[in-house]
Structure 1
Amino acid sequence: MQQLIRGRVLDFHADPHDTDDNHRSWEDGAILVTDGVITATGDHAELSRRGLIPAGIAQTDHRPHLILAGFIDTHIHFPQVQVVASWGAQLLDWLNDYTFPEEARFARQGHAPAMAGAFLDLLTAHGTTTAVAFCSVHRQSAEALFAAAHARDMAMVAGKVMMDRNAPPEVLDTPQQGYDDSRALIEAWHGTGRQRYAITPRFAITSSPEQLDMAGQLAAEHPDCHIQTHLSENRAEIDFTLSLYPKARDYLDIYDSHGLLGPRTLLGHSIHLKPREIARMAETGSRAVFCPTSNLFLGSGLFDAGGLRAAGVTSGIATDIGGGTSYSMLATLAEGYKILQLQGQSLHPLAAFHWATRGNALALGMEDRIGTLAPGSMADLVVLDARATPAMALRMERAQTLAEELFILQIMGDDRAVAQTYVAGRAQKPAA
């Protein structure tokens, strides 16, 4: 099946922090899609002149809207969709009062599949086409999410959390059960269609040394899987963690000593890091993940994006639903901008949109298939309307550059600015 998706097209090929030659854009652009894969991107007239647009091909014209690669969310909690916006707590209280009781519900028959469909609908409604998701401790929660994503041909990186202590019995496994369930899920889903598995020890507080050993064993046995966990989100969390691991040099050393660091490791939050931890993250290629709306909501602290970049640490950016407060990567970029402003750091709109697309794909090591509009990438797209609300339309009357338009989307946009989302070339939102 071939189709042509037309609009004002923006595609990144380099990081705006590194070079001014970082993107291509076409006012009348076209993306040729064959069986869900991008086969050509460029100026519509030029592609036509070169004979790359077949006669009679099905076309969808989104002009004057802007088309980019779909957003990628590198840290989100699938079982927390019904505890977003739960009032008044910092991290450890929030987990005990809201998160763990909510995640216990995923043991119920039929609950995980119902939530999986709703979760993916919310992602695509907000322009997100790939997510890295924590599931609950229950194997069926990951099975439900993978099955729902596979049915949509939607790229998902996910794993059931491994946690064997410091939580209610309803959300605990054992080191052996965590290993066995994770291994079974890897065998069933890793590499099935567009699904990838993430080995997921929740964090050091809820995993014993024996369980982290099992997670490290899984990582050694399946080196092409991602690893996801949490690191240095909250000062009380850090203190409690180090009391549980008194021989560790610091928080990161706990994961390091169990073989859990490397280029496929995603360390959510990474706020209160010591110089040795930053240097070790850079040395191992481990990724930090910035979760701005969650960090503000839970009062966790300010992520030092510039400092980590200068030290050679690659960072992703993410919503962290449900400690995070919005599924929107636009809202996430807006709050990220403000956090960096507080530290005297800037987030240019081109850098912001690169981060949410190609930048996050680079953090995942998946830039060959997602995050850009290059031929060979999957046709995961977001179509953005910078005039989606009256306030945005009024502001756009004064916008003169692409960067100004992107910044309006970043600061004022939400799901209303997402005119359409494509997953593997298939539209996800009803036609307006």
Structure 2
Amino acid sequence: MSAVTMQAFRSSLLHFSADPALADHAHHWHEDGLLVLEDGKVKAAGDYFDLFPLLPPGTPVTDYRGKLIAPGFIDTHIHYPQTDMIASPAPGLLPWLNNFTFPTERSFDEPVHAKNTAAFFLDELLRNGTTTALVYCTVHPQSVDAFFEAASKRNLRMAAGKVLMDRHCPDFLQDCAETGGRDSEDLIRRWHGQGRNMYALTPRFAPTSTDAQLGVTGELARAYPDVYVQSHVSENQDECRWAMELFPGVRSYLDVYDRYGLLRPRAVYGHCIWLDDADRARMAATGTAAAVCPTSNLFLGSGLFDFAKADRAGMLLSLATDVGAGTSFSMLQTMNEAYKVARLQGSYLPALRMFYLATLGAARSLHLEGTIGNFATGVEADFIVLDPKATPLLARRTSHCSSLEELLFALALLGDDRVVAATYAQGRLVHERVTEAAHH
């Protein structure tokens, strides 16, 4: 660190201390705010006129007035190797996997290709204001090394893991229970807790793992309780039927994972569309989180996530892009689609709730509250600067918003990567948007 360890940023500030669906005073909004950092962590966040007099003389203050500072977005389900096949045409999940996903993932045995893709992927996340993600690599251990090397270089808090698949996939992507387990444990020892890196045990989904492989994954999950578990569940009805055929005697698709001890705090499952009430109750009871992937679910025609039933069960929820089935790296675009999915199911998602789900809600799903996700004192200073005037339409719409809710709603429904003026990781600028005006 340089001698100057204090930094301050003047802007409107928004962050959360609770879920707006459950608490009245869940969000903190400072129209003219000051975010004060010390050594890359939050020292204070509040009104400019309260905090500015307390700054040590000479503290640099970056002026972002007219913009809005929020915690960095957290994407809880995304596949970095699928960056190159985003927006691939297919009539459903299984043909999409066979025709595009598996052939694309094959090339990640090549470390140089993995490295180039990881660098592009992380820069794309930062351009979209996403500072933390729970990431699927491929079956190749070198794909994981490439990812964590790229994340370490940028000093980002990222979780990722090697995909485990020992059946129902092409030979060129298949591991076995023993090698998959051994590779995973080696990678945990190499990367988990090194700097800001966190490891995730990653069986792709129950149908591509044997009982033996799921058993080994469960053993590792018990041996390393602070690593993540990530997989897919109940995404599409054909897949649900297939899972039930492959595991006779289970109560439900989710129950397959439960039998192997894979429902627990720090376990995050993508989709969770076709769960029943018993499944939802089980997820809530075990502290297992659902990553809701609206752009992907609409793209593949998988179904509509039921926010009302999830909330009634008390499930941990967050929003996720699920690139490459998801069609955008932008969490704002993801909110836009989540809002519409909720409406089609008869629910209503206020913008405040959507911003919560993409920040503190996701941090809670990952058991990282107090580390990332808001501006409480001592939290790592990963934050984004949002520009309500990023496009002519947004500038016109936000110029006459009468409430914070209306402003955030406009950002969510009309915004994309252009809204993200700057992205910071632990107080360091890692992305700055170059505007048209800057070129002239």
Give the TM-score normalised by structure 1.
0.98
2:50 paired with 1:46:
yes
SS in 1 for 2:250: coil
Amino acid at match of 1:183: E
Deviations 1:68-106 (A, max 9, x none): 000000000011000000013211111111101100110
Stretch moving more, 25-34 or 133-142: 25-34
> 1:324-343 to 2 correspondence within 5 Å?
324-343=326-345
What amino acid is aligned across from residue 41 of structure 1 in structure 2?
A
Query: 5+ residue gaps in structure 2?
Result: 435-440
| Structure 1 gap segments, 5+ residues each | none
Aligned equivalents of 1:345, 1:235: Cα separation in 2 = 22
From 180, 187, 190, the equivalent of 2:189 is: 187
Q: Tell me how far 1:48 sits from its aligned partner.
A: 2.4
* 2-structure distance, mates of 1:268, 1:286: 11
Residue in 2 that maps onto 1:302: 304
2:40 equivalent in structure 1: 36
- Alignment match, 1:88: 90
**1:11-39 CA distance string (max 9 Å, x none):** 21111101221111112211111221111
CA RMSD of aligned residues (A): 1.0
Amino acid of the residue matched to residue 369 of structure 1?
Answer: T
CA–CA separation in structure 1 for the residues paired with 2:255 and 2:371: 33
Paired letter, 1:29: G
In structure 2, how many angstroms separate the alpha carbons of the residues matched to 1:203 and 1:120?
24
CA displacement at 1:398 relative to structure 2: 2.4
Give secondary structure in 2 for the equivalent of 1:227: strand
SS of 1:114's equivalent?
Answer: helix
Q: What one-letter code is carried by the residue in structure 2 that aligns with 1:18?
A: L
Instruction: Name the residue aligned to 1:348.
Output: 350
* 1:152-301 equivalences in 2 (<5 Å): 152-301=154-303
- The equivalent residue for 1:23 is 27
Give 1:136-147 correspondences, 5 Å limit. 136-147=138-149
Contact 2:118 2:146 in 1 (8 A): yes
Letter in 2 for 1:7: S
CA contact (8 A) 2:421 2:432 kept: no
Give the CA deviation at 1:431: 6.3
DSSP 3-state at the match of 2:44: strand
Give the aligned residue type for 1:326.
S
**Structure 2 partner of 1:429:** 431
Partner of 1:410: 412
| Inter-partner Cα distance in structure 2 for 1:347 and 1:302 | 14
SS at match of 1:131: strand
Q: Alignment length, in residue pairs?
A: 430
Greater shift in the superposed pair: 273-282 or 338-347: 273-282
Percent identity over paired residues: 48
**Conservation of the 8 A alpha-carbon contact between 2:73 and 2:331:** yes
Secondary structure class of the residue paired with 1:271: coil
Deviations 1:348-367 (A, max 9, x none): 01111111000110111101
Aligned match of 1:59: 61
Alignment partners' CA distance in 2, 1:176 and 1:246? 24
The equivalent of 1:368 in structure 2 is: 370
1:401 Cα deviation from its structure 2 partner? 1.3
| Superposition misfits of 4+ residues, deviation over 4 angstroms | none
1:151 to 2:153 alignment: yes
Secondary structure at the aligned position of 1:66 is classed as strand
